[in-house]
């Protein structure tokens, strides 16, 4: 039986400069650190990501958006989500957690249940295909939710071949229309 362990989630939000939604926070996520960064190229790795994330100060935060109520607001047609680390084909160490870094361009990250235009939150799909696009994304060991606006996590997987894919969800965990999802990557845990 395969077991996946979600070890830690870090709430940092690399977002595109200029989007009004970037500084969106809620009382529920106020305790989590937040950050802003320019759009990162898909090839950016985690060792470069930390230097690209200046701290967000309270004076730059926008007021909280209203709670979810209704259809998903429109999003940028050029939105792109990607896995910045690990890389496709990467060999990861068995028996210890490793970092997965989520990248997003032309959209912002907002916590679940916060409906704000051009935002969503990440869902990491492990060893599974994309779920139905007209229903809430399942929450189980193959569909990890990052509803506090996290943009990276630490996971531990058993030895073997695994797939990872990101799917952006709206305030109610439903994929956007059109859906915003990453390329599926394959990693090897040895």
What's phi and psi for 173, nearest 5 deg? 70, 20
Looking at residue 12, its pLDDT comes to 38
Give Cα 26 distance to the centre of its chain: 17
Mean pLDDT across 90-112: 96
**Mean per-residue pLDDT for 92-119?**
95
**pLDDT beyond 80 at 3:** no
22-31, 51-60, 143-152: range with lowest mean pLDDT: 22-31
DSSP code per residue over 92-160:
E-TTS-EEEEEEEESSEE--TTB--TTEEEEEEEESS----TTSPPP-BTTEEE-TT---EEEEE--SE
Share of residues in the chain with pLDDT > 70 (%): 61
Query: With 60 as the cut, is the pLDDT of residue 147 above it?
Result: yes
Flag whether pLDDT at 177 surpasses 50: yes
Say what the pLDDT of residue 30 is: 33
| Mean pLDDT (whole number) for 11-18 | 33
Q: Which of these, 86, 28, 34, 79, lies nearest to 55 by C-alpha position? A: 34
Task: Using pLDDT thresholds of 50, 70 and 90, give the confidence band for residue 73.
Answer: low
DSSP state letter for 55: B
**pLDDT bucket at 76, cuts 50 / 70 / 90:** confident
Average pLDDT over residues 109-120: 94
Q: CB of 54 within 8 A of CB of 150? A: no
For position 104, what pLDDT does the model report?
97
Q: Is the pLDDT of residue 148 over 90?
A: yes
86 prior amide bond cis, ω within 30: yes
| Nearest alpha carbon to residue 107 among 149, 79, 71 | 79
The region that residue 18 occupies, defined by phi over 0 for left and psi between -120 and 50 for alpha, beta otherwise, is: left
Residue 61: pLDDT above 90? no
Beta bridge partners of 6: 155
């Amino acid at each position: 039986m395969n077991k996946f362990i979600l070890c830690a989630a870090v709430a940092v939000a690399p977002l595109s400069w200029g989007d009004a939604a970037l500084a969106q926070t809620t009382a529920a996520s106020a305790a989590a650190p937040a950050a802003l960064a320019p759009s990162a190229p898909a090839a950016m790795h985690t060792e470069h990501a930390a230097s690209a994330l200046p701290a967000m100060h309270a004076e730059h935060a926008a007021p909280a958006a209203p709670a979810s109520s209704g259809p998903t607001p429109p999003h940028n047609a050029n939105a792109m989500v990607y896995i910045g680390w690990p890389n496709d084909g990467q060999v990861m160490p068995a028996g210890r957690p490793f970092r997965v870094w989520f990248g997003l361009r032309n959209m912002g990250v907002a916590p679940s249940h916060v409906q704000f235009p051009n935002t969503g939150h990440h869902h990491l799909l492990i060893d599974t295909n994309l779920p139905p696009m007209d229903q809430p994304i399942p929450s189980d060991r193959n569909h990890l939710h990052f509803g506090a606006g996290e943009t990276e996590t630490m996971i531990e997987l058993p030895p073997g071949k695994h797939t990872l894919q990101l799917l952006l969800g709206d305030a109610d965990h439903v994929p956007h229309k059109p859906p915003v999802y990453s390329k599926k990557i394959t990693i090897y845990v040895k």
